[in-house]
Amino acid sequence: MKNFIKIAIPVISIFMLLSFPLKSQISSIDISGSFSSAGSLKYAVTKASGFGGGIDVSIKVFKDFYLTVNAGYQSYSIDQDSALTQWKWNFWDNRYYGSIRADLTDTAKYSLVITPNQGINSVPVSLKIGYEAKIGDLSVRPYVGAGILFFSRWFYVEENWTKKLSKLDNTFNYSYRNFAPSKQGNPIMLLGGVSLTYPLIDFVSVKGEFDYTHFVETEGMGYSELPFSNSLNFKLGLSFSY
């Protein structure tokens, strides 16, 4: 989590620095919540989806064309078959699991349920260019863009132990969590989508958005630690016009 915060703070700072010098040209600021569903899953992952939010700052560069700077936060939950094996956790595989097996040889005394848990905290930052068309009061803006996904992938195992106390004809239950070192990355992403904006009052509109994001396979940028290759993103929020 500390590493994630170290990444997030400078990213948000850069985003703010980009926005302030352009404030005299800003056409709108959008705030939205989002849902994402990952595709092209890797490493026996069966499902990856998450919720988040973000902010768009749009600048009108010339007639009907807009440049948009986006930054957000997305938290994914991940389901994965053989999660412990797939994580390749050296401490668990080569040191700790041996002691667990030794304890479990006495099945009359101990029993254990192991539950892996994992997820991703991410900060996507992108630059998009779009063309806006009007259909009555409805504004339709298809766009393309590129950016970077700063992410930290976390993993822990919850151990639920039961110790049988034969002499007392009772059991003692206890549990704890073992945390693995996190995995980080900052792969390049390419995206395309469309946003729909409809006015509520003079300067406030409701905004819906859909986009497809593809993560580019690159060396040394953590792409190999990301358990999916693309995502579909749905957003809903408010747009404030200037």
**Higher pLDDT residue, 220 or 53?**
53
Q: In the structure encoding, which two tokens stand for residue 73, read together?
A: 């936060």
Helices (H), 53-120: 83-87, 90-91, 97-104
Q: Where are the domains of the chain?
A: 2-241
**Higher pLDDT residue, 170 or 155?**
155
- Whether 216 has a pLDDT exceeding 50, the answer reads yes
Buried b (16+ CB within 10 A) or exposed e, 58-70: bbeeeeeebbbbb
Determine which of 10-24, 73-87, 120-134 has the lowest per-residue pLDDT on average. 10-24
Question: Can you give the pLDDT at residue 67?
Answer: 93
- 2-241 classified as CATH 3.60.90.10: no
pTM of the model: 0.82
